[in-house]
Amino acid sequence: MAEPIRQVYGDGRKEKLVATWLAANFRWELYPTPRFYFMDFLVNQVKDGGYANYIGGLEVKWLNKSINEEVKFPLQKLQKMWLTEPVDDEPQAFNRICIRYNDGVLLAPASAFRYGRPVYGLTRADTNEHDFNVVFTAAQDLTRYIINAVIDE
């Protein structure tokens, strides 16, 4: 099984490409968070007339693999996202995870990753760290959140 998703050099540029695509396709304004914050962006949804509502945070990941391949997502990051869900009566207000694959985009609520049991295993081969991760295959486990679009570099 592969290592979990983690930040690597060059991800900032790729995150901006995904953010630009999301802003254009969903009428969102995305505001970058400080370095080392557990999410990449805070999101406002733009309404007609120029108004905007805060609809939660967004974590963006760029994977060079198929949407049919297994992925490990760090449980600690998910727990932080679950604990900071916006408490609001706005139905669109929740934290999101967006994963860019070679053959599609996964845009899912953080709460969609609460299924199953976390798996304890290798988190980083370079430091031999072990931790809990949520293991999923987007094409099988999260099909309703897949967008048939390709975001190129």
> What are 16-75's pLDDT values in tens digits?
999 999 999 999 999 999 988 999 999 999 999 889 999 999 999 999 999 999 999 999
Contact between 91 and 80 (Cβ < 8 Å): no
- Alpha carbons 56 and 85: distance in angstroms, whole number: 7
pLDDT at 18: 95
Residue found under tokens 């953080």: 110
Range in 6-10, 28-32, 144-148 the model is least confident about: 6-10
Label residue 5 by pLDDT band (50, 70, 90). Answer: very low
Q: What single-letter DSSP state applies at residue 22? A: H
Strand partners, 121: 131
Find, among 93, 75, 92, the residue nearest to 84 by Cα.
93
Q: Please check the confidence at residue 3 and state whether its pLDDT lies above 50.
A: no
- Kindly state the average pLDDT of the residues 73-91: 90
Bigger pLDDT: 8 or 104?
Answer: 104
CATH topology of domain 11-147: Trna Endonuclease; Chain: A, domain 1 (3.40.1350)
Domain residue spans of the chain: 11-147
